Structure 1
Amino acid sequence: MSKVSNCLRMLILLKSRGKMKIKELAERLEVSERMIREYKNELEKAEIYLMSEPGKNGGYYLDENSFIFNLNLEEAEISSFLMAKEFLEKEDNFMFLKEYESGLDKIKAAVKGRYDDGKNQHIVKVSRPNIDLEDEKKKYLDISSSIISRNKLEINYFSINSGLVKRVIRPYVLFMYKGFWYCIGYCELRGEIRDFKLSRIRSYKLLEDTFDKPIDFKLSDYLGHNSIFKDKLYNIKLKINPPMSIIISERIWSENQKIIFNQEDNSILFEATMSGLPEIKSWILSMGSCVEILEPEELKEEIREEVKKLKNLYKIY
């Protein structure tokens, strides 16, 4: 990055974050501490003066009256950006977090006055994708490029059912589901449109061969109803007792769901049309003895078989 760009970035950092040590600035800008001092000299030649304070808690800082630019953002607006940063860190392992933080620094630098830095706002996430974010980001960017250029990809893909298999795909679109990125495209090995989870692509190569994307392809046509994959629909009716009845009622599990409360015992009658049998089974089993399946009978049998397997596995009689 050029000296001018880094000088501006240093100003933005100091404007948004306040006092910073030379070492901190050097690490953030990925340059030596000597270069930070040189940037300071360059800024002073342009009559932009940085204040400095010696000692353990010292560092460079900008005078309160220093001005870069003003976006007229309100406090609630900047707070929303700070909260979004916390969400992106915890919720889905956002692969472009570094770029987001850089943009956020520019926004904060443009705001007059001091704002809550979000340290009092916390989002707790029970689990998150176990992936290498830098590797995932490179896959995302490379596959995005192949979608734009219409170049085929040769991938070594690990499938739960088939194991590691080499395939040639024609990538159509990328989308995210539950923190993971997927590529939907035509698989030449299977002769049909398939979805590929980026984290399961072990290696890939951009090919010179190009392809034409079908003009009638729509992501919505590929995705199933209330599930990312096409699947059989189940008209589900559940009786759910406390405490799970309270927990389940606090979330939207399906856009068509209906919940009827029983005021006497705080149980609920849950009805919805859903697809994705593995997810449905996992969801119902997570409620333990609090749930009773009223409909359909097919789902009851699926759960019975799953419970039998658990009994055999753990020798429960």
Structure 2
Amino acid sequence: MSKLAHLTQILITLQYKKLVTASELAEIINVDKKTIYRYIDTLVAADLPVYTKKGRHGGFYLDGEIFIKDAKLNEEEMKSLLIAAEVLTADNGFAFEHEFKRAVTKIKNVSLRNEDKLSVLDSSKDFKISSIGDLGKIEDIMCKINYAMSKGRALETIYYSLAKTSTTKERLDPYNIILREGSWYLIAYSYLKNEVEFFALSRIKSLIVTDDIFIKPQDFKLGEFLEKNWVAFRGSNKQIKIKFSKSTAEFVKNIKWHAHQSIEDEKDGGIILNLFLDDFAEIKQWIMGFGAEAEVLEPKELRDDIADDIKKLYVNYKIKMA
């Protein structure tokens, strides 16, 4: 990542986290603390209102009067962008589906403050933003999390599954908020699973700050946690084997999808990804996004489920093309 990208990430993090230590920034961006201090000096030299609060509970903060402006997209431009993210898929021959959706996510996250524009889109009859994430409420959620962290208060949340087909009630001790790959995540101790996990803010349906006090363990290191646990899918009960074609093999190999995944190389240049999950719904849509470039080998129930959906798609398109 370039210096400019690092500086931008620091500014966006300061904008929403209010007060951040050099150690936290170093762990989030994956650089040493000396580099963080040099970055802060660069921002100050550029006349940006970045200030330092000294003392035990100190850190860096940004003047409340400044914020990263959005792209000033009008309603139709925003709608077109979001619809394009749904239409331009690997199934339709678009080779850069994942990269494009990451870019759209980054634009959405910088546009959080434009709530009126988002509410108009959300109420549109011909387009539903709910499939991508309720951006209008993320800023409110972030404010509540920041308050809970500053006061050492536990959270009660209702959390969507990845496919948003079900919800889970979670009691959490919030440790940190980070910006990764254009999206915001909460790092928190889950009482339900008895371990520290990450939670996408866009998948939080509701959140309440409780009066119950918690203390973050002194031995918790954000950098170590991210190195071991930054994955797209989690679970341990059911094994899944997915074969990817040669054209998508490098993309899949270069990303850590599961903490305990394994990859087998095939003679034709493809690969087989092995991982364990508790819920097939969380990975089904992801697999289908690769179209014919991905094939589920195991388990049979997931393979059959995807096959049924493909048959329904075929019938729908056959009727429309007839």
Fold shared per TM-score above 0.5: no
**TM-score of the superposed pair, with normalisation by structure 1:** 0.45
More helix as a share of residues: 2
Point out the structure with max Rg over C-alpha: 1
Q: RCO greater where, 1 or 2, for CA within 8 Å and sep 6 or more?
A: 2
**TM-score of the superposed pair, with normalisation by structure 2:** 0.44
